[in-house]
């Protein structure tokens, strides 16, 4: 019989942002965050946490859709790092995160769609 174990769900954690890469996802472009945990041990191959923040189809590096997942994530980042407000592009704002430690918390971002609730993402809520 195959053993099934609970997922290591984390509602809150501290981590250093090792890298942020823009990738092409199944539903369009997305940002992939590589997070090195500070206060938890991850039971995976890499020992890292990952978060993917999608860009809406109407967004670009210089202009994003208000109320989108990307907008919510960027707003939280701007609270943590005021210099992110001055970044000319999304990539520039996210580059400011690399090498810094943040406290992350699960939050609903974006909007409910077709009766499905908005999805939860790990977003920065402060410096660690």
Domain boundaries, the chain: 12-127
What is the largest distance, in Å, between two alpha-carbon atoms of the chain? 55
pLDDT tops 60 at residue 7: no
- For residue 22, the model assigns a pLDDT of 96
Q: Tell me the per-residue pLDDT of 55-94, one tens digit each, with 9 for 90 and over.
A: 988 889 999 999 899 999 999 999 999 999 999 999 999 9
Cβ-Cβ contacts under 8 Å for 77 (sequence gap 6 or more): 84, 93, 94, 96, 97, 123, 124
- What percentage of residues in the chain have a pLDDT greater than 90? 67
* Angle ∠(74,78,82) on CA atoms, nearest 5: 155
- For residue 9, the model assigns a pLDDT of 66
Whole-model pTM: value is 0.87
Say if residue 125 is exposed, middle or buried (CB neighbours under 10 Å; 0-12, 13-18, 19+). Answer: middle
């Amino acid at each position: 019989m195959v053993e099934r174990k609970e997922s290591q769900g984390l509602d809150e954690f501290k981590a250093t942002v090792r890298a942020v890469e823009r990738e092409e996802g199944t539903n369009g472009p997305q940002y992939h965050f590589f997070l090195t945990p500070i206060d938890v041990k991850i039971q995976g191959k890499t020992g890292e946490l990952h978060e993917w923040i999608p860009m809406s189809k109407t967004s670009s590096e210089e202009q994003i859709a208000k109320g989108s997942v990307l907008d919510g994530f960027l707003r939280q980042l701007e609270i943590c790092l005021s210099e992110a407000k001055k970044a000319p592009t999304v990539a520039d704002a996210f580059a400011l995160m690399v090498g810094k430690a943040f406290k992350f918390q699960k939050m609903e971002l974006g909007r409910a769609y077709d009766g499905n609730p908005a999805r939860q993402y790990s977003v920065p809520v402060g410096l660690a």
